[in-house]
Amino acid sequence: MKLVRYGESGRERPGLIDADGVLRDLSTLVADIEGKVLVPESLARLRGLDTSELRVVEGTPRLGPCVGAVGKFVCIGLNYLDHAEEAGMPIPAEPVIFLKPTSCIVGPNDAVEIPRGATKTDWEVELGIVIGKPAKYVAVEDAYDHVAGYCIVNDVSERSFQLERGGTWDKGKGCDTFGPIGPWLVTADEIPDPQALDMWLEVDGVRRQTGSTRTMIFDVPTLVSYVSQFMSLQPGDIISTGTPPGVGLGMKPPVYLSPGQTMHLSITGLGEQRQTTVAAG
């Protein structure tokens, strides 16, 4: 299934994309696409629906973040060998974990703000894992049982805040609008191998990132298991799994975003995002 949230910001309604690509409303059945709807039993009920009986949503409404009420937005740094090399960072022996505040989450096509004082705003196309079953001290071989599905994440980053402002990555990762997710939450049954997904990102029509989840250092089950050793994961939590090479920081000379530019990004089977950059108010 492709689950969505649509409508104006803060008032999104739940929906799904049917087999013909038609947006249909789910609001008579569930209140939102959030944790309690993403547990295995609830997803099984939704899979059993006759989608032709659901109301068609007319027009082209805004798509909001594909998961509502996210509890934790966990990110993995330097998880692609060639990205670590372009950043001049050592290859990690264990996954690098940082957190993005959930206040940064926006829809897949919402504007991205260049923060006040920013000079090095960057892009990162990433595969997002959406948790569907509580996970604590999970074994690698059991990790897929805890995955509801996947989505695209643009892990927007302000490198000057991240790397030049006194420690920890979080301050450069959590600015408002720095977490576009969606357009859809694609349930795990439709993505049989999350380690075989091509991904790309363009800025103003110029290809900047081309990669594949095949080159991740730590794969999906390893990440779910690893993170669960340090914090419990709840349905609706998101793990963003790192980015392939081609970020602005790694270019020679570096290239960064300014207001008025457009990012366009995609991962196989998970749709596309498109954001325009604006100056923060």
pLDDT digit string (tens) for 156-203? 999 999 999 987 889 999 999 999 999 999 999 999 999 999 999 999
pTM for this prediction: 0.97
pLDDT at 89 over 80: no
Residue 233: the pLDDT is 98
Contact between residue 108 and residue 183 where contact means Cβ atoms under 8 Å apart:
yes
Task: State the pLDDT at residue 83.
Answer: 77
Q: Which residues contact 108 (CB under 8 A, 6 or more apart)?
A: 63, 65, 66, 152, 180, 181, 182, 183, 271, 272, 273, 274, 275
Residue 155 and residue 199 in contact, taking contact as beta carbons nearer than 8 Å: no
Nearest CA among 116, 238, 254, 99 for reference residue 181: 238
Average pLDDT, the chain: 96
pLDDT value of residue 169 = 87
More confident residue, 281 or 5: 5
pLDDT at 142: 98
CA distance 223 to 103: 23
In degrees rounded to 5, what are phi and psi of residue 249? -60, -35
* pLDDT band at residue 241 under the 50/70/90 scheme: very high
- In the chain, the percentage of residues whose pLDDT exceeds 90 is 93
For residue 51, the number of C-alpha atoms closer than 13 Å in the C-beta half-sphere is: 18
For residue 85, the model assigns a pLDDT of 77
Whether the ω angle into residue 259 lies within 30 degrees of 0, i.e. cis, is no
pLDDT tens digits along 138-161: 999 999 999 999 999 999 999 999
Domains, the chain, with CATH or none: 2-53 (no CATH), 73-279 (3.90.850.10)
- Could you tell me the pLDDT band of residue 87, with boundaries at 50, 70 and 90? confident
- Asked if pLDDT for residue 106 goes beyond 80, the answer is yes
Res 82: pLDDT: 79
Q: What is the pLDDT of residue 20?
A: 97
What pLDDT does 132 receive?
98
